[in-house]
Every structure is written in structure tokens, then in C-alpha cells.
A and B are shown apart, each in its own frame.
Chain A
């Protein structure tokens, strides 16, 4: 005899975790069909390739939970990449040492990147401009400024040590011979280089440190709680004494901070600054957030879900490359997953969302 309740419970648990199951399924699928897909090297490649989407989507999650949307992040990546590249090149040619030029370049981009977020937040919270319009305006403005700063050409001639930072790993391991932390082992023979195992890309570490911090903030702190409250019922939050306007400004600043960070990561990875860098990733970021369980009407979503959403896209993208399938097919697949995600959310029984600690 079939136990109805038990079956139902299993069904609910599957639906609840469908994105995780989907992600695992994707990896299994490509591992079977692809060549060398399931290898440490390739999995790390997926993480690195997902950097921009992961970062953009994390910031976007905060905005979407409040019921808004931030479209400016697409070109904020380019803006920030151009700013940090330009500062690095100028300082280095002016005679500063490489580490100083790199540090100041990164800081300049991250600090300057907070300004568009502040303006977005101010427009949305204080002047009641719809988020779509405010951030879409900023999308164009950021792109224009980026092009002005770089004179329409990608910025080259960056400090040479950027490469070891952007393409470096946390550990290098030569089985039985050598274990090195953070620094590239010198004097290896060609044969040894073949067997050298590099573990955890720097870019990925930085990305997940920031994602981790903000996941904690969203899930565990008063700030996170108020973010959900604003998305659930902005009037209720206001009447309960939440400073909604200040909170929204901070949320848009978080989003632009993550976009700037993505721009900096772009410079580390590609050793160049380009105005259109990452602009194609805007849509992927929003899709990742929605796949991750957030609703565009606000009040729902988690960073964990968003990360899984971003990885679903990354795994698929590298998978298609692995199978030599043209990447424009990616858009078709991502589109289908997005619609599927929304459908699951729409038709899943209320029970799935019933008991939750947060929000």
C-alpha cells in the first residue's frame, strides 16, 4: 500500500530542492557526455567563469527581495573595470610600485562604485522613481562614463603582477613532492608542471568570501530581516519603525558594490578594462536570482538559492563549450530554465514555503 502522506512529503522535499537536484543532474549529465568534464580543473574553471554572474546576482538578490530591480549593474561592471584599470596604469606609469598601483586601483573602483548605487537608491527611495527607470537610466550613464574614461578602447598595459593575482590559486600541489601556499612554485620541469595540481582559484576565494559575508547579513541580521520586511509589506515596515528610505539606499549600494567588485575581478582575470565588460551578464544575474527562488514582486529569495542559480548557468555554459555546441544555445536553455523556475514557484503548494526561520 502506498503511504500518501509519505509520498507527498517526499514530493514536497523534491520540489523544495529542485534547483539543487537540477544542478547536480546537470553536472552528472555533462560528466557522462562530455570529455574530462568532471575534473578538478574543469570544475574550478566553472567557478571562475561564473564569477561575474555570482557577484552580480548576489547584490541583485538584495534589491529583488525589496521588490525592486537593479539594471545598472550590467554596465557598472564595465565602469568599475575601466576605472580600476585606468588608475592602475596611470599610477604605475607615474612610478608607483605595482602593489600600490593595484591596491589603489581596486579601492578607487570599489569606492567610486558606491556612488551610482547611492544615486539609484536615492531616486527610488526618496524621489519615488520606479526602480526599473532609475537603474535603467544609470545603466546608460555608467556605460557612457566608462567609454569616456577609456576613450572607446580597452585599457592595456596594466601592472604585470596582476596576472599572478588573478590567475593564481590558493594551493599548488605536486603529489609526493611539493606543497605551496599562495605562491607559484618556481623551477619546475616541464614534466612536473604537467602533474602540478592547482587548488582553489584566488578569484573564486574572494568571490565566495564576499558572498558568504552578505549571505550571513541577509539570513541572520536585523538588516536582512528588514530587507525581507520591506519586500513583503513596505507600509508595515515603515509603521514598525524601519527606516525604509535609508534601508533602500543601502540595498542599492550593496548591489552596485557587488557590480564594482565584479568589475575588479574582471580586471584581475583578463588584465584589461573594457566599457562593455559584463554587460551581457545582467540578464544571467537576474535569471540566477529568480531560479534561486526569489520573486520579482519581492519578499522572497536567499543567497544560497541565488548561488545555485548562478552555478546552474555556469555549469551549462561550460558544458556546452565542452560539447562544442555553439554558446548561443545557452540563451535558449537559460530562457527555458527561467520559465520553468517561475512555473514551479507559481504552482507549488503553499506548504513548500510554510515553515521557515527567516522571513
Chain B
């Protein structure tokens, strides 16, 4: 099977600091991949390169087999790469469906010549996508500020899905949630994956990543040190790889160790 996303030899530097160092990665359709690493390992920088926030200094990105250049977040969105950041990027003063359609509002003609917002359409379509993902929110006319953390996460995810995300990148999706809500969000990740959406999860909560990701990618100091099939590894090994007590699989990593 062809990977939906492939990055080759990606390097990103900030002045003298190499945040991501010559990194390769493939993501396959419908796959959930967890990226693990300590603070400063380069996880966030890597996903920001993929989502168009940063430009890589070297390396190539292929999406659905074609080489692409992502020079800003809008371009990433257009080709189907959606990123949900920890802060969710929702406007809390606005209602659910307005957030789903934020920046891509559906318009209709008023008196045949003025474009106005089509609230009915946006409400109806938002309901559809929330139903598809088995999300229950009492009223989509409720403002985001009245929703719980898990509901907000669900709204952010629905927004991406509505806009046909093929690859969804989630930065710490469960960090601010209660236990029951964490479970709901993880279930949602499974639902999405079964519908063919590829997902990259970044999380400090190793338990979460283990419960949803099929493959793990471990980073240390900007480098990929190991890749593991979740079922064939365990938390001890992964922690060892993260902190560097285990050498990892790649020559550079071993050299660094010496």
C-alpha cells in the first residue's frame, strides 16, 4: 500500500539549534501513528513542518504519492492535512456550527445580490458530521464557552472531518480532559481511523498513545531513534528509547550515544 504521507530527510533548524534532524516517516491510510519524545525532542516542530506552519530547511514531503511544498497552513488544509492543536483553535464566543464553518462559511444570496451567511445549511451540515462521528452535543447553537473540554475537542475534530481531512494531526488531544472524556476522544480516534482517516497523535500520556496507535515513532533531540509496532513493544522499552537509556535503531542515534 502506498503511504498517504511520506517525509524524507526533513531538517528544520532554528539558528544553531537543529529541532528536526534528517527525519524520515511514512503514514499509511487509516493508520494511527503516535509520536513520542521528551520535551524538546522535536515532535511539535515536525508536525508544524507537515502542517505548513514552518518550512523545512531540507528534505521532501510527499502526499498521496505526489511531491508537495506546503508554504502555509492554508495550503495544508487544502490538500487535506488538518491539525488540531492543544488550544483547539475554537472561537469560544461563537456557537458550534459557526466554528465548524469558521473561515469557510457557507453563504447564500439575499435579494439576489448580497452574500449572507446560510445558518440553516451550516447547522444541518454540522449535525450530519457530528452524527457520523457519534458525538452528542445538546444544541449546535450553543456557544463553545458552554461546552466541556471533551465536547470542544469533538467540535474541533468534527470541523476537520467535515472539511475532508485525510490526515489528522492531534497535538496532546487528551491533555486537558477528565478520564471519561479522554476515553470518548480516544474512541473517536478509533472511529475516524476505521473510516479511513490517517491520524498522527502527539502525547505525553503514553497510555493513550498505546491504546489507539498501531505504530509508534520515538524521537530524541530532533532525530528519529526508533519505530515500533505498538503490539510488539511495551512501555518500558519505549521509555528507555525516549530518555536514551536504550540506544535506538539508527546509526546516528548510536553515534550520539558514544
A-side contacts of B104, CB under 8 Å: 240-241
Are B90 and A233 touching (Cβ within 8 A)? yes
Across the interface, which residues of A come within 8 angstroms of B117, CB to CB?
220-222, 225
Q: CA–CA, A130 to B169, complex, Å?
A: 33
Contact of A359 among B89, B90, B95, B142 (CB under 8 A): B95
Closest chain A residue to B87 by CB distance?
A235
Q: Tell me the smallest distance from the CB of A241 to a CB of chain B, in Å.
A: 4
Q: A228–B143 contact, CB under 8 A?
A: no
| A237:B102 contact, CB within 8 angstroms | yes
B175 beta carbon closer than 8 Å to chain A = no
* In the bound complex, CA of A185 to CA of B98 (Å): 53
Select the residue from B74, B87, B93, B143 with max chain A CB neighbours within 10 A: B93
By a CB distance below 8 angstroms, the chain A residues around B18 are: none
Task: Decide yes or no whether A353 CB sits under 8 A from chain B.
Answer: yes
| Tally of contact residues, B, Cβ under 8 A | 32
In the A-B complex, the 4 residue pairs with the closest CB atoms: A240-B103, A232-B91, A299-B93, A232-B93
Query: What A residues does B87 contact at CB under 8 A?
Result: 235
Cβ–Cβ < 8 Å partners of A233 in chain B? 89-93
Contact call A356/B141, Cβ cutoff below 8 A: yes
Asked if B116 is at the interface of the complex by the 8 Å CB criterion, the answer is yes
A103 contacts B by Cβ under 8 Å: no
Cα-based distance from A358 to B93 in the complex (angstroms): 10
Q: Please, how many angstroms separate the alpha-carbon atoms of A241 and B89 in the complex?
A: 12
Bound-state Cα–Cα, A239 to B99, Å? 12
B93–A354 CB distance below 8 A: no
- Closest Cβ neighbor of A295 among chain B residues: B93
Q: With an 8 A cutoff between CB atoms, is B39 at the interface?
A: no
Docked-complex contact B103 and A242, CB < 8 angstroms: yes
Query: For the complex, is A337 an interface residue (Cβ under 8 Å from B)?
Result: no
Which of A221, A228, A355 is B91 in contact with, Cβ under 8 Å?
Answer: A228
Distance of A229 Cα from B90 Cα, bound (Å): 9
Among B77, B89, B143, which residue has its beta carbon within 8 angstroms of that of A235?
Answer: B89
Q: How many chain-A residues does the 8 Å CB contact rule pick out? A: 28
Q: Which residues of A contact B142 (CB under 8 A)?
A: 354-355
Contacts of A220 in B (CB 8 A): 110, 116-117
Chain B residues proximal to chain A, CB less than 8 Å? 73-74, 77, 85, 87-95, 98-99, 102-105, 107, 110, 114-117, 119, 139, 141-143, 145-146
Show 8 A/B contacts (Cβ-Cβ < 8 Å), sorted by A.
A221-B114, A222-B107, A228-B94, A241-B77, A242-B103, A355-B141, A356-B95, A359-B95
- Listed residue (B77, B116, B141, B145) with the most chain A CB atoms within 10 angstroms of its CB: B116
Q: A350 in the interface, Cβ–Cβ < 8 Å?
A: yes
Nearest chain B CB to A239 CB, angstrom units = 5
Q: Report how far A278 CA is from B104 CA in the complex, Å.
A: 40
Assess whether A300 is in contact with B93, with CB atoms less than 8 Å apart. yes
B contact residues around A222 at 8 Å (CB): 105, 107, 115, 117
Name the distance in Å between B56's Cβ and chain A's nearest Cβ: 20
A355, B97: Cα distance in complex, Å: 12
Task: Point out the residues of chain B lying under 8 angstroms from A350, CB to CB.
Answer: 145-146
Residues of A near B91 (CB, < 8 A) are: 228-229, 232-233, 236-237, 299
Q: Is the CB of A237 within 8 A of B93?
A: no
CB distance from A68 to the nearest CB of B (A): 15
Interface string of A198-227 (1 = CB under 8 A from B): 000000000000000000000011100110
Asked if A353 and B115 make an inter-chain contact with CB atoms under 8 angstroms apart, the answer reads: no
* Residues on B with beta carbons closer than 8 Å to the beta carbon of A229: 91, 94, 98, 102-103
Determine which residue in B98, B102, B119, B143 has the highest number of CB atoms from chain A within 10 A of its CB, and name it. B102
Which of chain A's residues have a CB closer than 8 A to the CB of B74? Answer: 241
Q: Which residues of A contact B116 (CB under 8 A)?
A: 220-221
CB pair B110 A240 closer than 8 Å: no
B residues less than 8 Å from A353 (CB atoms): 143
Return chain A residues, CB-CB under 8 Å to B119: 357
Please name all residues of chain A whose beta carbon is closer than 8 Å to the beta carbon of B77 when the two chains form the complex. 241
Min distance, Cβ B225 to any Cβ of chain A, angstroms: 31
Q: How far is it, in angstroms, between the C-alpha of A59 and the C-alpha of B104 when the chains are bound?
A: 26
How many Å lie between the Cα of A128 and that of B12 in the bound state?
27
Q: Does A319 contact B (CB under 8 A)?
A: no
Q: In whole Å, how far is B168's beta carbon from the nearest beta carbon of chain A?
A: 14
Interface flags for A343-359 (1: CB within 8 Å of B; 0: not) read 00000001001111111
In the complex, how many angstroms separate the beta carbon of A243 from the nearest chain B beta carbon? 10
A105 CB-CB contact with B under 8 Å: no
> Which residues of B sit under 8 angstroms from A226, Cβ to Cβ?
103
Measured in the bound complex, the distance between the Cα atoms of B143 and A353 in whole Å is: 8
